């Protein structure tokens, strides 16, 4: 099964490659439309600047082809920034919003009103209203200052609590596997998720 990592000039591709190697998969790098057509699954990596990442995607017309890839229900894994880019808009500041890929209807906002320094950098336990959720009560590694504002009643999400503020930590639905945390840096729990994506 061919898995490719979208290159938007930032991100943590090397760590993702190492993690997938541990579960028996060699990942390729996607620079353009031609590269994308060679893969059955893609990864939107984490870390970096959202405006820069979207500029690179648009320059190579990869934004349009990622949307087409999604429309065909091909599996997509989004990590941290990759999850955020998949939403409708990204709030850089109160007066400036960046248009995202719109794979999911939602907005990315700056984390506010928490009594801890940002970015959030920690191992945190995931919670869910769905008792059958396979990620529930497991710990994963987070590093972020923005969060995905989605419908909190959606059964496809998990969340974390930071000073009693609920922050969405994952969204899994159909072909989309999006995580605010970093599976590639989350030890055995993270490798289980990558193996699950590998075996889709």
- pLDDT of 134 reads 80
Domain boundaries, position 64: 3-198
CA angle 52, 177, 16 (to 5 degrees): 60
The pLDDT of residue 42 is 97
Catalytic, out of 65, 133, 148, 182: 182
Q: To the nearest 5 percent, what fractions of the chain are helix, strand and coil?
A: 25, 30, 40
Residues 6+ apart with CB under 8 A from 112: none
Question: Catalytic pick from 27, 65, 80, 144?
Answer: 80
Give the pLDDT band (50/70/90) at residue 12.
confident
pLDDT tens digit sequence for 173-186: 999 999 999 999 99
**Does the pLDDT value for residue 1 go beyond 80?**
no
148 is catalytic: no
Asked if residue 157 has pLDDT above 80, the reply is yes
Cβ contacts of 152 within 8 Å, gap of 6 or more: 159, 166, 168
Query: What does the block give as tokens for 168?
Result: 């969405």
Q: What percent of the chain has pLDDT over 70?
A: 94
Residue 70: CA atoms inside 13 Å, Cβ hemisphere, count?
21
Question: Comparing C-alpha atoms, which of 13, 32, 151 is closest to residue 88?
Answer: 151
How many domains does one find in the chain? 1
**186 SS3 class:** coil
Q: CATH code at 133?
A: 3.40.50.880
Write down the mean pLDDT value for the chain. Answer: 90
Alpha-carbon dihedral 79, 174, 75, 171, rounded to 10 degrees = 0
Write the pLDDT tens digit of every residue in 82-102. Answer: 999 999 999 887 668 899 999
Residue 81 tokens read as: 């920034």
Measured distance CA(63)–CA(97) in Å, rounded: 17
**132 pLDDT above the threshold of 90:** no
The pair phi, psi for residue 68, each rounded to 5°, is -65, -40
How does pLDDT run across 35-58, given as a tens digit for each residue? 999 999 999 998 889 999 999 999
Is 184 marked active-site? yes
Is 182 an annotated catalytic residue?
A: yes
């Amino acid at each position: 099964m061919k898995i490719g990592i979208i290159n938007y000039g930032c991100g943590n591709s090397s760590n993702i490659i190492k993690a997938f190697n541990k579960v028996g998969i060699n990942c390729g790098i996607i620079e353009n439309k031609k590269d994308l057509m060679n893969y059955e699954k893609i990864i939107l990596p984490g870390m970096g600047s959202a405006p820069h990442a979207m500029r690179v995607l648009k320059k190579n017309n990869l934004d349009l082809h990622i949307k087409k890839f999604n429309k065909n229900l091909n599996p997509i894994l989004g990590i941290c920034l990759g999850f955020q880019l998949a939403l409708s808009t990204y709030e850089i500041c109160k007066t400036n919003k960046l248009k995202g890929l719109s794979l999911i209807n939602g907005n990315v906002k700056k984390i506010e009103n928490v009594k801890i320094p940002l970015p959030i950098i920690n191992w945190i336990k995931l919670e869910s209203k769905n008792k059958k959720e396979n990620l529930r009560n497991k710990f994963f590694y987070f590093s972020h200052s923005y969060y995905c504002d989605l419908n909190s009643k959606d059964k496809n999400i998990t969340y974390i609590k930071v000073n009693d503020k609920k922050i969405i930590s994952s969204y899994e639905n159909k072909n989309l596997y999006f995580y605010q945390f970093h599976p590639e840096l989350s030890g055995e729990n993270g490798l289980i998720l990558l193996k699950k994506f590998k075996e889709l």
